[in-house]
Chains A and B, each alone.
Chain A
Amino acid sequence: MAHAPTTTASDKYYVPHGSPWPIIGSVALFTTVGGAAMWLNHVNAGPWLVTAGLALLIFMFIGWFGVVIRESEGRLYNEAVDRSFRMGMMWFIFSEVMFFAGFFGALLYARQFSVPWLGGEGTKLLTAVVRGDNFEAAWPTNGPGQIGGEFTTIPAFGLPAINTAILLASGVTITIAHHALRAGQRQVLNLFLALTFLLGFLFVYLQATEYIEAYTHHNLKLSTGIYGSTFFPLTAFHGFHVTMGAIMLVVVWLRCLKGHFTPTHHFAFEGVAWYWHFVDVVWLGLFIFVYWL
């Protein structure tokens, strides 16, 4: 969350001293995860500890981001720090790519291999014979035994297509904002950045509407066999990423309103903009593989 003016010596790495935020972050994470474990084991204090842990985590983020922004604006960062931010971003994105690769991998493995095998495809003919329930492999399915009961899918040309258009529109607005920042057009930047996060929050709202529709009218639930248990985690984790991205966009927008960033030094903006394009591309993959192909 910082840009890196080069006013300090390039061979010295700025190290803050006496920062309380790492230990506060550790306590927050320990409290959250410990509380979640208690919650799963029906200990009464569990939900309270999770709430307290998350509140402390949010407090830590606000405090730590504030420190980094002030350090950046105070010209304490040099090229070495800038390089470490960019490397950090790269490794963060690598972890994100692997995260979604796991979920897309599960979807493709189920569709291309395990469901056809259950239907007796290839060398798995005996599987179908032994099962003897005439399970016909097709996608979408909740598998042999119809786990979760009869269901219908959300039509691609309903809310999913509208949501795709909304997210693509937000991709266009962030790109206009990016060009405006580089051209020094601050008003255009502020306007299109605001439009971007508003479109992002609208996407999340419509996604929630889609879930209610799925549960109430389609009998499509997390427990609806292999389709439900791949559909909901993929789309929900994506929605969570959109929410986080939109919050980060709000932070960057507030910084833009305060006059932060220059046409050549704006790493925080670049990082968040790239992240926004990333969640947009993940959604395109979801739209195509979950709703179409």
Chain B
Amino acid sequence: MTRLLILGCLLAIVLSLGSALISLVRNKGESSRMVQALTLRIGLSVLLFVLLLVAWRLGWIEPHVTR
């Protein structure tokens, strides 16, 4: 479940980044869509990082270790 949440969050980040790229190519600087998409992108990324910290703290997820 935690993994799905992490991957879903990552997918949303990639989609918002892609949306910003489309705005960059189409809107020629006049529209604020690009900066809005990038703001969403960084917001989601910070959220994902916090999610990782919380999931690790609560023991839901463990980082790789050599076996």
Q: Which residues of A contact B (CB under 8 A)?
A: 3-4, 79, 82, 86-87, 89-90, 93, 138-141, 151-153, 155-157, 161, 164-165, 168, 171-172, 175, 178-179, 182, 264-267, 270-271, 273-274, 277-278, 280-281, 284-285, 288, 290-293
Contacts and interface: CB of A to CB of B under 8 A. Distances in A.
A89 B29 contact: no
B32 A182 contact: yes
Closest 9 CB pairs between A and B? Answer: A156-B63, A171-B42, A86-B25, A178-B35, A138-B67, A152-B66, A90-B25, A264-B29, A175-B42
Contacts of A156: 63-64
Contacts of A152: 66
A207 B65 CA distance: 20
Given A87-B25, A89-B24, A281 B64 contact: no
B33 to A, nearest CB: 12
Given A90-B21, A140-B67, A179-B39, 15 more contacts: A82-B28, A90-B25, A93-B21, A138-B67, A140-B64, A155-B63, A171-B45, A175-B35, A178-B35, A178-B38, A179-B35, A278-B17, A280-B42, A288-B52, A290-B64
A267 B29 contact: yes
Interface string B18-50: 001100111011101011001101100110110
Contact of B21 (A82, A274, A284): A274
A140 B35 CA distance: 38
A89 B46 contact: no
Contacts of B46: 168, 172
Contacts of A168: 42, 45-46, 49
Interface of B: 3, 6, 10, 13-14, 17, 20-21, 24-26, 28-30, 32, 34-35, 38-39, 41-42, 45-46, 48-49, 52-53, 56, 61, 63-67
Contacts of A291: 63-64
Nearest to A87: B25
Contacts of A4: 28
Interface of A is mostly: helix
Contact of A266 (B14, B29, B63): B29
8 contacts: A93-B21, A156-B63, A157-B56, A171-B41, A175-B35, A175-B38, A277-B20, A281-B14
Contact of B24 (A270, A281, A284): A270
Contacts of A165: 49
Given A164-B49, A281-B14, A151 B66 contact: yes
A292 B63 contact: yes
B63 A157 contact: yes
B31 to A, nearest CB: 9
Contacts of B61: 292
A82 B14 CA distance: 25
Nearest to A181: B35
A162 to B, nearest CB: 11
Contacts of A182: 32, 35
B38 A274 contact: yes
Contacts of B48: 284
A153 B66 contact: yes
